[in-house]
């Protein structure tokens, strides 16, 4: 099974993001995008990839431990950006900000514990974001730059991060389907 650990985004914020995309995608011109469905929006903390079934219980134990040692906090979805860089654009994303870098610390904690279980350690620095589109071809980079500048301070709202979720990603011709395996609520 193909697994990842993520933070769910509240439905009302997913609706705002979906409305934003619908109202503004034309500003990106003739660049080709594959947009993420609103029901698939999430903040990935750790992509585990193909995982043997016998490891799932151990993963659940670890995530139970992480969540029981975590406290709720607020995060804000704000701004637009791209990965990996303006010369080679593959992903259009919305930023996620929180006080005291709690998302980064949470992602690093999960990464370290999964590494101890045998998963590959992340080599890149964690950047809190929601992928809203994957870019298939860039035909007009200036339109993308203008889009990012125009919406760099736009806020989609603040929400309470009170849990992490283990998902299975089922790849289908019409796009991935994400199935919740288990949700882990924080201690308070």
Catalytic residues: 42, 129
Burial of 94 (0-12, 13-18, 19+ CB in 10 A): buried
Going by C-alpha positions, the residue among 95, 70, 67, 83 that lies closest to residue 151 is: 95
Q: What is the 3-state secondary structure (H, E, C) of 144-155?
A: HHHHHHHCCCCE
Q: Where are the beta strands (DSSP E) in the chain?
A: 2-8, 32-35, 42-50, 73-85, 88-98, 129-137, 155-161, 163-170, 177-185
Cα separation, 98 vs 42, in Å, equals 16
* Three-class DSSP category at 95: strand
Query: For residue 111, what is the enclosing H or E element?
Result: helix 102-116
The CA–CA distances, whole Å, from 85 to 49, 131, 141 equal 24, 14, 12
């Amino acid at each position: 099974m193909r697994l990842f650990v993520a933070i769910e985004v509240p439905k009302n914020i997913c609706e705002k993001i979906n409305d934003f995309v619908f109202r503004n995608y034309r500003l990106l011109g003739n660049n080709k995008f594959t947009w993420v469905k609103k029901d698939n929006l999430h903040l990935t903390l750790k992509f585990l990839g193909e995982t043997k079934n016998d490891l799932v219980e151990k993963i659940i134990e670890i995530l139970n431990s992480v969540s029981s040692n975590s406290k709720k906090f607020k995060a804000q979805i704000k701004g637009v950006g791209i990965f990996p860089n303006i010369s080679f654009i593959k992903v259009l994303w919305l930023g996620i900000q929180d006080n005291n870098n709690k998302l980064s610390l949470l992602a690093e904690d999960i990464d370290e514990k999964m590494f101890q279980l045998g998963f590959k350690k992340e080599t890149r620095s964690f950047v809190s974001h929601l992928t809203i589109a994957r870019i298939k071809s860039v035909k007009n980079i200036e339109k993308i730059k203008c889009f990012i500048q125009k919406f760099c301070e736009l806020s989609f709202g603040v929400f309470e991060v009170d849990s992490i979720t283990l998902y299975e990603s089922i790849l289908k011709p019409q796009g991935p389907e994400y199935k919740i395996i288990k949700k882990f609520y924080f201690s308070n």
